[in-house]
Amino acid sequence: MPTNPQPVNSMQWYYALNGQRVGPVSPQDFAQAVADGTVTGETLVWHEGIPAWVPWQTISATTTLPAVGAEGAGSDLPPALGAPEATSAGAGAAAEAWTRAEFVRRLRENGFAFSLGEGIGRIWKTMTDGYWLGLGVVVVVALLTIVAGMLPVIGLLANILVAPQLTAGAMWFFLQRTRGESPAFESVFDGFRLRFVPLLLLGLIQFAASFLIVGLMILIMLPFGLSLDALQDNEAMAAMMSGGLVLTLMGFGFVISIVAARFMLAHVIVMDQPAMNVIDALLLSWRITGMRFWSLLAICVLVIVVTFIGFLPFIVGWIFLLPLVPAAVARVYEDARLSAAGTPAE
């Protein structure tokens, strides 16, 4: 850790209080909050130059705050972007301040310490620790997404203005759980409060990709004699569906599922790495998932199978397995981050 951080005298601070973001506040006001105990070692804080919210205790030793009541006193910043300190895998471990290139370089140098057996165990632990609160989070996310999609006008934009933010909020909730923190239920809405615009852009990309996939499916159907008119006639479509077409569509769906799985970490990366733009998040997700592709593919298949089995007993079992997906995404990302930091999860 460098000992000569650059001084900044007008940096505005933000901190989390009861699940709500407070700020911007001046260095003097932030120092007062630290002095009176409003900001504790576990409080998440952020200021410009730090690409992620971190517990105050992780940067307090390298940050000089103004004396309480003093005006114009200097304050120092932690190390610059690209020179993060590796944190331990213990409770409250903070995300390192990395660009995408730095994250990839470190992960390539240190390797991605992830195995199928241990990964499943950690995912299960992430899901079951504080299970009922986590279940409540994902149920609320699912219900709000469905309701938003049914509203007039707004429903047309729900996949851009609501779904990405809620999905990211659920993953953010479970990511904090993997770090030994105790996130409040309200953190599920942090996608709106903290990263609304980047997640909106991510939603736009996904929305455009869905149209592309539909277009490709139509092109696949045309050689089999399935016209656009037949798509509107259920009986005609059923008659024209040949075994070859069914197999082709199944193969196409399998390929699309694999590609989608490669981008599954994008939402949580956007939340945890504010220095990265949406394209960086997508590319980093692609790189991380590619390093342990077969293990992660096996986990994806297992999640699908377990969810399907849970769907059978009158849908009730499926509801109780809803936290499995965001827990898996959060755990895989955190394992990659810790591996890049040189402190893989135990």
What average pLDDT does range 299-309 have in this prediction? 76
Shared-domain flag, residues 164 and 43: no
- Ranking 7-21, 179-193, 230-244, 268-282 by mean pLDDT, the lowest is 230-244
Interhelix angle 100-110/324-340, nearest 10 degrees: 80
Phi first, then psi, for residue 145 (nearest 5°) are -65, -45
Task: With cut-offs at 50, 70 and 90, classify the pLDDT of residue 240.
Answer: low
Range with top average pLDDT, 77-81, 191-195, 210-214, 321-325? 191-195
- Clarify whether residues 71 and 213 are in a common domain: no
Residue 199 located in a structural domain = yes
Q: Do both 76 and 209 map to the same domain?
A: no
Residues 206 and 268 in one domain: yes
Confidence of residue 89 (pLDDT cuts 50, 70, 90): very low
Token pair in block for residue 4? 């000569």
Q: Any idea which of 59-63, 79-83, 275-279 has the lowest mean pLDDT?
A: 79-83
Q: How confident is the model at residue 224 (pLDDT cuts 50, 70, 90)?
A: low
Residue 200 has pLDDT above 90, yes or no: yes
259 assigned to some structural domain: yes
Is 60 part of any domain?
yes
**For the residues 47-63, what does the mean pLDDT come to?**
81
Same domain, 117 and 74: no
Domain ends where: 40, 60, 80? Answer: 80
Residues 231 and 159 in one domain: yes
CB 177 within 8 A of CB 164: no
How would residue 99 be classed by pLDDT, with cut points 50, 70 and 90? confident
Nearest of 115, 114, 52 to residue 78 by alpha carbon: 52
Mean pLDDT for 104-113 is: 87
pLDDT at 75: 35
**Mean pLDDT value across residues 185-202:** 92
- Helices 163-178 + 324-340 axis angle, to 10: 60
Please report whether residue 270 resides in a domain.
yes
Identify whether residues 162 and 202 lie together within a single domain: yes
Query: Looking at residue 7, what is its pLDDT?
Result: 40
Q: What is the pLDDT of residue 309?
A: 72
- Mean pLDDT of the 139-160 span: 87
Q: What is the DSSP letter of 69?
A: T
- Angle at which helices 131-150 and 116-128 cross, to 10°: 80
Assign 3-state DSSP to the chain and report helix, strand, coil percentages, each to 5: 60, 5, 30
Confidence bin at 94 (pLDDT 50/70/90): very low
Asked if residue 116 and residue 58 are part of one domain, the reply reads no
Q: Are residues 55 and 172 in the same domain?
A: no
**One domain, residues 178 and 300:** yes
Structural domain of residue 75, as residue ranges?
13-80
- Are the C-beta atoms of 166 and 141 separated by less than 8 Å? yes
Q: Residue 220: CB partners within 8 Å, gap ≥ 6? A: 245, 248, 249, 252
Of 54-68, 236-250, 256-270, 319-333, the least confident: 236-250
Task: Answer yes or no: is 142 within a domain.
Answer: yes
Average pLDDT, the chain: 78
**Residue 74, domain CATH:** 3.30.1490
Determine the average pLDDT of the residues in 302-327: 74
70 with 205, same domain: the answer is no
Please indicate whether residue 277 or residue 87 has the higher confidence score (pLDDT). Answer: 277
Same domain, 217 and 310: yes
**Residue 346 domain flag:** no
Examine residue 189 and state whether it is found in any structural domain, yes or no.
yes
Mean of the pLDDT values across residues 258-287? 91
Assigned domain for 324 exists:
yes
Q: What is the tally of structural domains in the chain?
A: 2
**Residues of the chain above pLDDT 70, percent:** 77
Q: Residue 89: which H helix or E strand, with range?
A: none
Identify the pLDDT of residue 140. 94
Asked if the model's pLDDT at residue 69 lies above 60, the reply is no
Mean pLDDT of 214-240: 64
Q: Does residue 316 have a pLDDT over 70?
A: no
